Structure 1
Amino acid sequence: MQPLSLDLRQRIINVHKQKTLSVRQIAKRFDVAKSCVQKLIKQYQETGNINPKPQGGNVSPKVQGEDLVTLVEIIENNNDATLEELCDLLKEKTKITISRATMGRISHNLDYTVKKRRDPAPL
């Protein structure tokens, strides 16, 4: 969802400054959520700024750069290790702790297949 345009934000603030309408009425007039008007007014009162705040962003991966190279080496040297064992080996070498699921995602993204358990399922 896109942030409100600066023009619309300014019109909402101008109507609020006139003190003729309640927050609920302003929201209805401009066809936006009441909480949106409340947050915009609060932001304006605290900072004097009506520009939209930055949205979202990605979390940087825990294993990257040289640590990723180390992980590839660990996977290639221990091709019969389970995901949990690979997590332990990575922690020993790089001091980075990751979950089994994260290890599975990383190995999948690197196109490596890894055993999921030590013993085969009983027959």
Structure 2
Amino acid sequence: MSIRKVATQFAVSTSLVQKLVNLQRTEGNLQPKQTGKPQFSHLTNAEPEVKALVAEHPDATLAELCELFASKTGNWVSQSAMCRYLQKLGLNRKKKLGTAAKRRQKESEN
């Protein structure tokens, strides 16, 4: 069947049919390609290092953990990347309220 006949039968442009024919020839299929760039992170295989940092510094903030990770491995990561990785590992980063904060909270309730 010609490209023009296929285009009119499916109500699409001839250029689309040509592109699909070329894609079938080169790729061997008409599957859509993956969109976006592949994401790279220095945290990909760093589970033991991150767990050790959290165990050694349980009260460290995200910024401090990023700095400690950079000094230990030589690779800097952002705070958001560190936060996502900690969530992926199931490590809770919520801090306990200090005694002064607890006292203020009790006074405001009364």
TM-score > 0.5, shorter chain as reference: yes
2:42 alignment partner AA: K
Cα deviation, residue 82, structure 1: 0.7
Q: Counterpart of 1:51?
A: 28
Q: 1:69 aligned to 2:48? A: yes
What's the C-alpha RMSD, in Å, of the aligned pairs?
Answer: 3.6
Q: Counterpart of 2:98?
A: none
SS of match in other structure, 2:67: helix
| Gap runs ≥5 in structure 2 | 96-100, 106-110
Q: Which has the higher contact order (CA 8 A, sep 6+)?
A: 1
TM-score by length of 2: 0.59
Count of matched residue positions in the alignment of Structure 1 and Structure 2: 94
Cα deviation, residue 41, structure 1: 4.6
Q: Distance in 2 between matches of 1:104 and 1:90?
A: 13
Mapping for residues 1-123 of structure 1, pairs under 5 Å: 14-16=1-3, 21=4, 26=7, 28-30=8-10, 36-41=16-21, 43=23, 48-49=25-26, 51-52=28-29, 55-56=33-34, 59=39, 61-65=41-45, 67-115=46-94
